[in-house]
Structure 1
Amino acid sequence: MTTFTATQWPRVRARLWQYALLTRMHRPIGTLLLLWPMLWALWIAGNGHPDAGVLIVFLLGTWLMRSAGCAINDFADREVDPHVARTTDRPLATGRIRAREAVGVFVVLSLLAFALVLTQNRLTILLSFVGVALAASYPFMKRFHHLPQVHLGAAFGWAVPMAWTAQTGQMPTQLAWLIFIAAVVWATIYDTQYAMVDRDDDIRIGVKSTAILFGDADRLIIGVLQVLMLLALLLIGRDAGFGWPYFLALVVAAGMFGYQQLLTFYRVPEFCFRAFMNNNWFGAVIFAGIVASYLLHG
C-alpha cells in the first residue's frame, strides 16, 4: 500500500490545486449558469415540490459535469490558450498539467456523474448519453463553425429534459422543450458576451465564435435574442399557470438585459465580461419568480 510522508503532502496538495484550477473550482459562474435552467425545469416538473433525491442528484451532477467540461475544454484548447490573454495562465497552457491528465480528469468526473444518473429511471439514463456527447464535443466546435455558443447552449440546456424525465418518469413535454429552447437562446446570449472579451485574440489565432460572426451587429443580434428569450419565458409562465411573482421577475430580468446592453455598448472587454457575469443574477431572478409563484399560488 502506498503511503505519503509528511514531506510529500505539500507536493500532493499543490497537484490537487492544479486540478482544482483546471476544473474552475475557483470560478463557479459556469456551474451556476448550468444550474439555473435545470432548477427552472425541475421546479416546474415537480409542480413546486421536486423530489429531494432527484434534486440532490442533479445538483451534484451539474457540478461534476461542468467540472468535466472545463477539463476537456482545456484539453481541446491546449494549443490556443497560450495565445489568448485571458487564458495564458491555465494549468494546461502553462504545462503545469499534462494533456493526458486533463483527459483523465474528464473521464473520472464523467463516470462519477454517470454513477449518479444510474440512480434515476431508464429514460433519464438514456438521455444522459446525449448530454455527455454534447459536453465532450462542444470544445472542438470553434474550429469548425461560428456557432459554438449554440452548441454550448444545447450542452448546458440538456439538463432540462433530463431533470424533467427524472422528476416525472415520462418523456419531456412541450413545456419542457420550451424551457430547453430558452436555455439554448440564453447560453448563446451570455457566451457571445463572453466571446466578445476574446474576439481580437480569436481572430488573430483563427478560432470561430458568434462574436466574430455577428461582427458590428453583435449588440443588435444579442438584443434580438434577449427579446426572444423573454418571450420564451413569458410563454413558459403562461403555460405553467404562474402568478404575478413570476411576471414581476420577468420585468426585473428585462431590466437586467437592458443593463447588459449598456455594459457592452462600447465593447470594452472588461465590461463585456461584467455583462456575462450579470447573467447569473438573471437566472437567479427567474428561479426566484418560479419559487415565489408556487409558494403564493400553489
Structure 2
Amino acid sequence: MTTAPPPDSQLTGFVALLPAAARPYALLARFDRPIGWWLLYWPCTFGLGLAGGAKSHWPLFLWMLLGAIAMRGAGCVYNDIVDRDLDAKVARTASRPVASGAVSLRNAWLWTILLSLVGLLVLVQLPLRAQLIALLSLLLVAAYPFMKRITWWPQAWLGLVFSWGALVGWAAVGANPPGLALPLLYAGCIAWVIGYDTIYALQDIEDDALVGVKSSARAMGRHVKAGVGLCYAVALACWAGALWQVRPDPLVFVALLPAGLHFIGQVVTLDPGRGEDALAKFRSNRFAGLLIFAAMLVVGNAP
C-alpha cells in the first residue's frame, strides 16, 4: 500500500514568513517547492553550455533562472485553474489554494498574468531567434493540463515543455548546432523528464486510478522501475550523441559518467510503494541536472 504523501501546498521555509494574505499566492506558484523551477532551468543551461556560451553569454544564466522561476510559477497557477475540480478529489492536492478556495479563480488568473509579465521581461533580454522559439512553447504549456485526461503518457508532453529551454538556450548563444547535436540534446531531456516525472506520479497512483487520471506510472504498472531505467538510459544515450556531435572524442562519454551513476542509484533504490521515497528520488534530479550541466559545460567550452 502506498503511504500517504505530504500535502502539495505547505507553509514551509520563507513562505511561512510571508504575510498571511500573500501565502496562498506563494503556494499557488509553488515558491515553497523550488525543485520545479530547477528542473525547468537545467535544460536552459544545457543549451547555453553545450553551445559554448558559458563565458560570452553568462548573464543569460541569471536571466533564464529568473524566467524559470516566474514561468514555472505561472504554469503551476494555470495548471491549478484547469485542474481545480480534480485536485479537490486527491488527498495530496486538495489543499492547493484554488481547489481549497483560498484563492479565487479571478485572482488566480491575475496572478498568472503578473508572473507572465516577469517572464516577458526575461524574454526581451534574448536575441530575436531565441524569443520566437520561446514563444512557441506557450502552445505546449497551454495544452499540458489536459493531457492527463486523454493520454496515458502526459509525462511525455511535460517532457516537451520542460525540455524546451535547451532549444532556447542554444538559440540565445547564436551558434549553429553541428549535425544532430540539438535534436539529440532535446530528445535526451524529454526522456529524462519522462523518467523523473514517472517517479513523481507514483505518489498519486492510487488516487489517480480512483478519479480516472492517466499517467505513465499507471501505464508501466509493476514494470515502473524498468521503465524509468529505460528512460534514463535513452536520455544518456541521446546526450552522449549530442556531446559527440560537438566534440568527437571518446573522452566526452566520461563527462556523463557521474550522471549515469546517479541515475543507476535512483532506479536501484526506488521503492514504488512508498510515496515519500518517490518524492525524495524525484527531488534528487536537481542534483542530476547539475551533473548533466557540468558535462555540457566542459565539452561545449573546451579549448
TM-score (norm 1): 0.88
* Structure-2 residue corresponding to 1:86: 92
Displacement after TM superposition at 1:210 (Å): 0.8
Maintained 8 Å contact 1:244/1:293: no
CA spacing shift, 1:252–1:172, aligned 2, 3 Å: closer
How many residue pairs match? The answer is: 286
* Structure-1 residue corresponding to 2:182: 176
2:123 counterpart letter in structure 1: V
1:16-51 deviation per Cα after TM superposition (whole angstroms, max 9, x unaligned): 221111001111001111111110110111354241
Maintained 8 Å contact 1:263/1:271: no
* Structure-1 residue corresponding to 2:146: 140
CA distance in 1, matches of 2:53, 2:116: 30
Q: Does 1:163 align with 2:178?
A: no
Q: Does 1:241 align with 2:247?
A: yes
Q: Does 1:283 align with 2:295?
A: no
CA distance in 1, matches of 2:214, 2:286: 25
Maintained 8 Å contact 1:23/1:68: yes
* Structure-1 residue corresponding to 2:25: 19
Maintained 8 Å contact 1:41/1:163: yes
| Residues 1-298 of structure 1 mapped to structure 2, 5 A cutoff | 13-168=19-174, 174-241=180-247, 247-293=253-299, 297-298=302-303
Using the TM superposition, name which of 210-219 and 284-293 deviates more.
Answer: 284-293
CA distance in 1, matches of 2:89, 2:179: 44
Using CA pairs under 8 Å that are at least 6 residues apart, name the structure with larger relative contact order, 1 or 2: 2
1:147 counterpart letter in structure 2: W
TM-score (norm 2): 0.86
Richer in helix (by share): 1
1:29-79 deviation per Cα after TM superposition (whole angstroms, max 9, x unaligned): 011111111101101113542413433322221111111111111112211
SS state at 2:143 partner: helix
1:101-148 deviation per Cα after TM superposition (whole angstroms, max 9, x unaligned): 222222222233123212322222222221122222212211111111
SS state at 2:281 partner: helix
CA RMSD for the aligned pairs? 2.3
Q: Identical aligned pairs, as a percentage?
A: 32
CA distance in 2, matches of 1:128, 1:35: 13
CA distance in 1, matches of 2:71, 2:300: 29
Unpaired segments ≥5 residues, structure 2? 1-17
Unpaired segments ≥5 residues, structure 1? 1-11
